[in-house]
A and B are shown apart, each in its own frame.
Chain A
Amino acid sequence: MRLVLNGSPVEVVAHPMKRLLDVLREECGLTGTKEGCGEGECGACTVLVDGEAVCACLVPFAQVRDCAVRTIEGLGGDHPLQTAFTREGGAQCGMCTPGMIMAALALGPKPSLERIRVGLAGNLCRCTGYEAIYRAIQRAWQGEGVSKAVRG
């Protein structure tokens, strides 16, 4: 099946009803997307499908045919959100972090605090109490490299 994965067209062979989460982790070797609950409650497996944040544990692989799928690995490691999560303590154990960053990315640049709180309500973090995550997202869009991230 064809799709665009982290910006590159790829052909992936997997059962159409296999969870996108498992296809990414097992067929594509992208283990940055995590499983927290397997029922769409925790958001640890959040990825972007055509720009929209979805729980990869709830999406059958067939559904992403010809779609653009973006995972944490597609951010390159130096995205302002990633840098800010490190600096502000937005990542502690790190298990919710990839999904949290992808969900934050889907909010677009410079979201208001209210928009962040509502937008991340589907992503559970047990370590931070979320305050550091708010600080990280707000800080991410203040610093250098932001214009590049907005374009990219």
Chain B
Amino acid sequence: MPVVGQSVPRKDGAAKVAGAAKYVDDITFPGMLHGRTIRATIPCGRIRDIRLDFDPAGFTIVDCSDIPGRNVVSLIEDDQPCLVEREVRHVAEPVMLLAHEDREKLLAAKVHIEYEPATPVYDAERSPAAHKHIVIEKGDLAKGFAKADLVVEGEYRTGHQEHVYIETNGFIAVPEDGGITVHGSLQCPFYVHKALKHLLGLPDDKVRVIQTEPGGGFGGKEEYPSMIAGHAALLALKARRPVKIVYDRAEDMWATTKRHPSVVRHRTGVMRDGRIVAMEVAVLLDGGAYVTLSPVVLSRGCIHAAGPYRCPNVRIEGRAAFTNTNPNGAFRGFGAPQTEFAVEVQMDRIAERLGMDPVRLREINALRPGDTTATGQIMGKDCSALMVLKEAVKRSGYRRKRRAWQGTNRGIGLALFYHGSGFTGSGEVRLASKCSLATTERGVLILVASTEIGQGTRTMHAQIVADTLDIPFEQVDVAVPDTAGVPDSGPTVASRTCMVVGRILERCAKEMKERLDGLGPGEHYRRHGPMVITKEYEPPPGIVWDDATYRGDAYATYSWACDVAEVELDPVTYEVKTRKMTVVHEFGRPIHPVLARGQIEGGTAQGVGYAVLEHVVMQDGAMANAQLTNYTIPTTLDTPRLDVVMLENPYPYGPFGAKGVGELPMDGPAPAIVNAMRHIGLDVREVPALPEVLMEKAGEAVMR
């Protein structure tokens, strides 16, 4: 029986509900030491002296002079050191590593660092240095504005957001056979592999990275694991014993990456009838102290900055600025939640100025097949902007509630949004991901580096392979991501694991089926021995992209969604409760409806937190509320009831018609909720929209 489209039991479900799944902190090795990171306490300056205020007997101590290879966390620019040499660029930057078998002695050890402080830069808007600058141009902006009946300007701000995966970052490094094996919580085994090779000066085969069960990632375990794995490896190599580093919650929040804060300015030219004729967008991201992933976050952010709308004349300019704060990094949505927040709030403000229904304004301007995006990409039949908009408006009763709640403390608002599936631009071609499928005694084994981070990778891949081979789901096993045993199918990011990696697996299975000569894979294995099929990524036909000009097909395809938020303002506390959200997504076709729904519901809840709750308080360049006590994520009582609709529009180049869904749900809740606040009469242009912000806006509304 086919399993694609069925919600079969997830492969890792039984172990997880029994408490038997092994996360990194559940694993110990004989003779294992515990590791600790000594971090800088100033945002900017130089280290003058380091003094150990403890008896070093029994300790393993590592500083930058112990690094056998290059002192970098290798990623895009290789500018971030694994351990500070002299120059400190942000609070919590790692300086020294300690290991000891007794955790209490380890924690009691005091290290005194003397600094020569310098003047830090905290404000991205005033930062003289940029990690990356991007310009996207289409048509003739001046001509567009000259023609416009009305020009609407606005500035929109979003704050940091902390991932709060329930399992903090952790790694165990084990010295083995002249090399190193690391076990840890991660999304991208080969990112860690590459970083360790550079750091340790070891060849490919002397570095092995094995994924333990990750307790959530959301982008937070995309690039940071290369840092902590490097630290554990350096300690283990020096101590010649296994070393475990697991951060406690405070260190994880204080020291690791967060979502980039943004300031996005819009200037939009519109005609009286609602047609948008000119869009000028300036995107600023706070990149933090090192480049890390900021160039690609900015890239995705800029490409999505014009929203799912057609406009003949567009200019989008983006800048990721340097500041003396922790490097900001990957977080579900990767720049798009910031820019889509801005454009969607701008759309409601334009509607307000035109005296037009926000739905009507979107209907007029939404991308349709045949239209072009800001990068000049021509939309195909896989463009579903109008479909999701219409369904969400109808299903939520938007129009009726919009009228009925006018002038009350209840509001309803919506956001229309999209998200490109897979790496941006030529990224997928350059990644050239590979997947393998092997016959086994039991059936087949999937060999990919794509990790299960809770989203259901193992299960969804096994469904694709089972149906392509026409064998029972139970006969498909999935190998543990281990760089010594699986090909590099690329990082587990960018809404690519189903559409891109799943497609390569589908091609592996198709070829295997042809070569099985009508036998089952288990039977074939027993008669002829093992068969392994390996396939590499092939782009869909007709995809063209130019990195230099930012013109062309930014993504092979997009997924589409419309969120409708219903909120209620407490007139005493100024707290806004999101009561209900109607969430309509089109992402080709769900391979596993329960898992896909889980992505949508979970991503929407993260978006609700981003909109009204989650506030990273920065003080002197560091997170001042690095605790779950005062950084709050949505609980059961903060999360609205969700009415999820999954519309289908099968995409011919995805496995069984599937596109990406992982990040899309994160892009819409914040603008939908803020637009619902606008319906109440609150002119909010930032998130998190905390009660103090709303109180101020309510005061302004009364003054008007």
Contacts and interface: CB of A to CB of B under 8 A. Distances in A.
A51 interface: no
A93 B604 CA distance: 17
Given A126-B165, A126-B633, A86 B19 contact: no
Contacts of A98: 17, 19
B209 to A, nearest CB: 19
Given A41-B628, A127-B454, A129-B642, A95 B165 contact: yes
> Chain A: interface secondary structure?
loop
B133 interface: no
Nearest to B218: A126
A130 B18 contact: no
A131 B454 CA distance: 16
Interface string B487-521: 00000000000000000000000000000000000
A61 B636 CA distance: 29
A92 B167 contact: no
Given A88-B594, A94-B213, A31 B19 contact: yes
B601 interface: yes
Nearest to A74: B19
B451 to A, nearest CB: 11
Contacts of A44: 166
A117 B454 contact: no
Nearest to A102: B19
A93 B627 CA distance: 21
Interface string B633-666: 1111101011010000000000000000000000
Interface-centre pick from A34, A42, A76, A127 (highest chain B CB count, 10 A): A127
A124 interface: yes
Contacts of A20: none
> Chain B: interface secondary structure?
loop
Contacts of B595: 89
Interface in A58-72: 71-72
B655 to A, nearest CB: 20
A37 to B, nearest CB: 4
A109 interface: no
Contact of A132 (B19, B248, B598): B598
Given A38-B248, A93-B167, A126 B637 contact: no
B267 interface: no
Given A86-B13, A91-B13, A94-B454, A32 B18 contact: yes
A76 to B, nearest CB: 8
Interface-centre pick from A73, A83, A90, A124 (highest chain B CB count, 10 A): A124
Contacts of B16: 86, 91, 94, 97
B602 A37 contact: no
B22 A31 contact: yes
Contacts of A124: 164, 166, 628, 633, 635
B17 A31 contact: no
Contacts of A38: 248-249
Nearest to B16: A94
Given A87-B9, A127-B454, A128-B602, A95 B167 contact: yes
Interface-centre pick from A73, A94, A96, A128 (highest chain B CB count, 10 A): A94
B108 interface: no
Nearest to A131: B601
A102 to B, nearest CB: 9
A86 B17 contact: yes
Nearest to B164: A126
Given A93-B216, A93-B453, A129-B605, A37 B628 contact: yes
B109 to A, nearest CB: 20
Contacts of B249: 36-39
B10 interface: yes
A16 B17 CA distance: 30
A39 B635 contact: no
B606 A126 contact: yes
A57 to B, nearest CB: 10
B49 interface: no
B142 interface: no
B629 interface: yes
A116 B594 CA distance: 20
B636 A94 contact: no
A97 B215 CA distance: 10
B635 A92 contact: no
Contacts of A125: 166
B523 interface: no
A73 B454 CA distance: 21
Contacts of A122: 635
Given A95-B215, A125-B166, A129-B639, A85 B23 contact: no
Nearest to B597: A89
Contact of A95 (B7, B166, B598): B166
Contacts of A36: 166-168, 249, 628
A37 B167 CA distance: 9
Contacts of B644: 131
A129 B604 CA distance: 7
Given A89-B595, A92-B456, A132-B594, A82 B166 contact: no
A130 B490 CA distance: 30
Nearest to B641: A131
Given A32-B19, A34-B167, A94 B12 contact: yes
A121 B597 CA distance: 22
B548 interface: no
A129 B602 contact: yes
B21 A94 contact: yes
B25 interface: yes
A123 B74 CA distance: 37
A128 B633 CA distance: 13
Nearest to A32: B19
B668 interface: no
A118 interface: yes
A130 B639 CA distance: 8
B198 to A, nearest CB: 29
A144 to B, nearest CB: 16
A83 B17 CA distance: 8
A92 B635 CA distance: 16
Interface-centre pick from B21, B23, B248, B636 (highest chain A CB count, 10 A): B636
Contacts of A39: 249, 627-629
A41 B629 contact: yes
A71 B26 CA distance: 15
B17 A91 contact: yes
Nearest to B583: A129
A75 B605 CA distance: 29
B453 to A, nearest CB: 6
B599 to A, nearest CB: 9
Contacts of A97: 16-17, 19
Given A94-B21, A129-B605, A132-B594, 9 more contacts: A31-B26, A37-B249, A39-B627, A87-B13, A94-B12, A97-B16, A98-B17, A129-B606, A130-B605
Interface of A: 25, 30-39, 41-42, 44, 71-73, 75-77, 81-83, 85-98, 101, 116-118, 120-132
26 contacts: A30-B19, A31-B25, A35-B25, A36-B628, A37-B628, A38-B248, A44-B166, A77-B18, A85-B13, A89-B597, A91-B16, A92-B456, A93-B214, A95-B23, A95-B166, A95-B167, A97-B17, A98-B19, A117-B637, A120-B635, A126-B165, A127-B454, A129-B605, A130-B605, A132-B594, A132-B601
Interface of B: 7, 9-10, 12-23, 25-26, 163-168, 213-218, 248-249, 453-456, 594-595, 597-598, 601-606, 627-629, 633-637, 639, 641-642, 644
Which 8 pairs from chain A and chain B are nearest by CB?
A32-B19, A93-B454, A95-B215, A94-B16, A129-B605, A86-B13, A72-B19, A92-B454
